[in-house]
A and B are shown apart, each in its own frame.
Chain A
Amino acid sequence: MKLFPKVLGILVVLAAVGGFIAMDIPLYDKIFYIFAAICVGSGAFVVFSRNIAYSAFSLLFAFFGVAGIYVLLGADFVGVSQLLIYVGGILVLFLFGMMLTSNIDKLREERPTMGRLLPGVIVASAICALLISVAWGVPAWRKAAVQVPTKGTNTTSLIGNLLMGDYALLFVASSIAILVALVGAAMIARSDRLSPEDAAERM
């Protein structure tokens, strides 16, 4: 009897997938909806999961969905960069932090109380309202959808030319900022190697 809900669930999923495939919309839109669903679903899981490990791992799928949407928009270089930087760099960093903290999977978030939830909701909706009003205030963002050139454009060389031309200074400045952060991190992380005299003095 335990099997019944499982079978029902599988049937429902199959029906949904079949209906989705049979829907009369272009393939491009279907793929967009798939990626959007991945994004939203895993994003919601990141926020609502009680287990921090599950949150961290479902970030992977959120990043993946965003990368897919970038690629659909014709920004292949940005999409791949998204995968490389967020999945390969930032997520790995998160996970390292998580793994090296003992018993972190036992940690459960507390249920939010009304006193905490209310200010959060107010602040979030205020920021949301501000962003939306600003976004609507920019006329260039409200133009009719522009056909995105998906084929034949080499975005890589365009980005490269811009970075090395118009934005060379910003590019170099941000590189220096990252370099400084690296040196700082190395400085903080390295074990204090004192000379014997200094060590004796500190004692």
Chain B
Amino acid sequence: MHQFLVDLFGQNVVPYIIVCALPLVFILVFALLAILGELKLSAFMQHRVGPMEAGPYGLLQPLADIIKLMQKESIRPLKASRWLFQIAPFLVFVGSFAAFAVIPFSPFYIAADLNVGVFYIIAVSSIVVIGIFMAGWASNNKYTLFGGIRSVAQIISYEIPGGFVVLAVVMMAGTLSMQGIIEQQGGGFWNWYIFGGPKAIATHSFITGHDIATPGSWLSLLLIPLMLLATLIYYVCGLAETNRVPFDLPEAESELVAGYNTEYSSMKYAIFYLAEYANMFVVCAIAVTLFLGGWHSPLPKFIVQYLGADSHIWLGLEGLFWFIMKSFVLVLVQILLRWTLPRLRVDQLMHLCWKIFLPVGFVLVIVVAAWITFVAPRPEPAAKAGGDVNTPKVVAPPVARPLAGK
């Protein structure tokens, strides 16, 4: 995509700006849709009709909300720290937005396919942490300070089990690149990492017809429940990182007014709001990338390929469709959970993270390492099993052997 834009506009700033602007537009549209979804779904779950006035069936309600927010007066508390108070919302948004740089929307659109994509996302999310801290502290209000501290404690705690789960997938994939991880999951939904990855099921002849099962390869099937669990852990950690119910202690209305953004109004509050929704999408998009096959269709080939069209445009559009549909389903679940579950207590929150998720994460990493070392099929047969069309372009990683250096 970037190369295409460079060809179109030449080697200057314009392609970079366009590549940056596309996710921004996407975030705005997504936030409008998600706000509407949240309003309507909560209404549905509580036997209300929800907003009905603005536009047909209230479809324009989020737009009206945004216009209302923009018109409000921007208030800065007298004793707030002047500069930090102004910067904080933008910092939070920058952190969420920066993650969009490596989100692979389709086979041909990714702003920057970094070698260290997954690692990059984990790293830039720490900017969000600083931003929230800054907002909480600069407002000079005890509720915001508590909200900020709770939020940061929660985010950095849940990054650890989340990181372990990501590590397990990265170890199996042998690459940190987002596109690289997705490319390996092609050839049908049984190759997705939620079902143990391309080497777990596909190496069994009763599914694919390839007779490449090595002795002891039934052990690979044990990965399936393990990776299902990993997906669940990642999703819950993502939920905690976005500070949403049931992990919304940082903005617990009944205790802390509204947490770290209590003092914010007008456009700055809108930026926080936008950042929250951008973050929701980022978390779901990473879950889709790592576990649900990214832009691959659940069938062995893209549907347009069955229909006989295999130009780049059709493949790209269908990839975009699958990626966004999968992410939206996960976002939908997040919204449903918000209106279903009560809030956790602080001790339950920490118990879940440190005493349940973290040990499971450790076990996961060790088991996956052992599986890679002893059980996983060697690269050559795995490449054969990777489906007919979407054969992984990335060469399967050399099987890691501990300390087999020089």
| A135–chain B nearest beta-carbon distance, Å | 29
- Which residue in A96, A105, A155, A165 is a CB contact (below 8 Å) of B406? A165
Stretch among A83-91, A120-128, A195-203 lining the B interface: A83-91
Asked if residues A83 and B126 are in contact (CB atoms below 8 Å), the reply is: yes
Interface size in chain A (residues, C-beta < 8 A): 30
Contact in complex: B123, A54 (CB < 8 Å): no
Number of chain B interface residues as a range:
35 or more
30 example contacts (A-B, Cβ-Cβ < 8 A) are as follows A27-B11, A27-B12, A53-B81, A57-B84, A64-B127, A76-B115, A77-B119, A80-B116, A83-B123, A83-B127, A84-B119, A84-B126, A88-B129, A88-B159, A89-B126, A92-B129, A96-B152, A99-B148, A99-B149, A105-B81, A154-B115, A156-B115, A156-B176, A161-B405, A164-B402, A164-B403, A165-B403, A165-B405, A165-B406, A168-B405
A53 to B139, CA, bound (A): 13
CB within 8 Å of B: which A65-93 residues: 76-77, 80-81, 83-84, 87-89, 91-92
The residues of B that contact A154 with a CB separation of less than 8 Å are: 115
A89: chain B residues at CB < 8 Å are: 126
Q: Measured between alpha carbons, how far is A99 from B120 in the docked complex, in Å?
A: 27
Bound-state CA distance A161–B120 (Å) is 20
B12 and A166 within 8 A (CB): no
Instruction: Contact check, A80 vs B119: say whether CB atoms are below 8 A apart.
Output: yes
A14 adjacent to chain B (CB < 8 Å): no
Q: Which residues of A1-48 are within 8 A (CB) of B?
A: 21, 27
- CB of B124 within 8 Å of the partner chain: yes
Bound complex: CA A87 to CA B156 (Å): 12
Bound form: Cα–Cα A99–B159 in Å:
21
Against A, the Cβ 8 Å flags (1 = close, 0 = not) of B71-107 are 0000000000101100000010000000000000000
Report chain A residues within 8 Å CB of B152: 92, 95-96
Please name all residues of chain A whose beta carbon is closer than 8 Å to the beta carbon of B116 when the two chains form the complex: 76-77, 80, 156
Specify the chain A residue showing the minimal Cβ separation from B16. Answer: A27
**Given A57-B134, A99-B149, A165-B406, are A84 and B83 also a contact pair (CB < 8 Å)?**
no
Note all chain B residues with C-beta closer than 8 A to A62. none
Choose among B119, B123, B125, B127 the residue with the greatest number of A CB atoms under 10 Å from its CB.
B123
User: When each residue 125-143 of chain B gets 1 if its CB lies under 8 Å from chain A and 0 otherwise, what string results?
Assistant: 1110110011011000000
For the complex, what is the distance from the CA of A65 to the CA of B149, rounded to whole Å? Answer: 26
Scan residues 142-186 of chain A and give those whose CB is less than 8 A from a CB of chain B: 154-156, 161, 164-166, 168
CB pair B123 A88 closer than 8 Å: yes
Taking a contact as CB atoms closer than 8 A, the residue among A60, A81, A166 that contacts B127 in the complex is: A60
Interface residues of B (CB under 8 A from A): 11-13, 81, 83-84, 91, 114-116, 119-120, 122-127, 129-130, 133-134, 136-137, 145, 148-149, 152, 156, 159, 176, 402-406
Specify which chain A residues have a CB less than 8 angstroms from the CB of B405 in the assembled complex.
161, 164-166, 168
A residues at B contact (CB < 8 Å):
21, 27, 53-54, 57, 60, 64, 76-77, 80-81, 83-84, 87-89, 91-92, 95-96, 99, 105, 154-156, 161, 164-166, 168
Look across to chain A and name the residue whose beta carbon is closest to the beta carbon of B152. A92
Given contact pairs A155-B115, A164-B403, A80 touches B13 in the complex (Cβ within 8 A): no
Nearest to B174 among chain A residues (CB) is A157
Enumerate chain A residues within 8 angstroms of B115, measured Cβ to Cβ: 76-77, 154-156
Residues of A contacting B119 with CB < 8 Å? 77, 80-81, 84, 156
Chain B minimum-CB-distance residue to A168 = B403
Q: Do residues B122 and A84 form an inter-chain contact, with CB atoms below 8 A?
A: yes
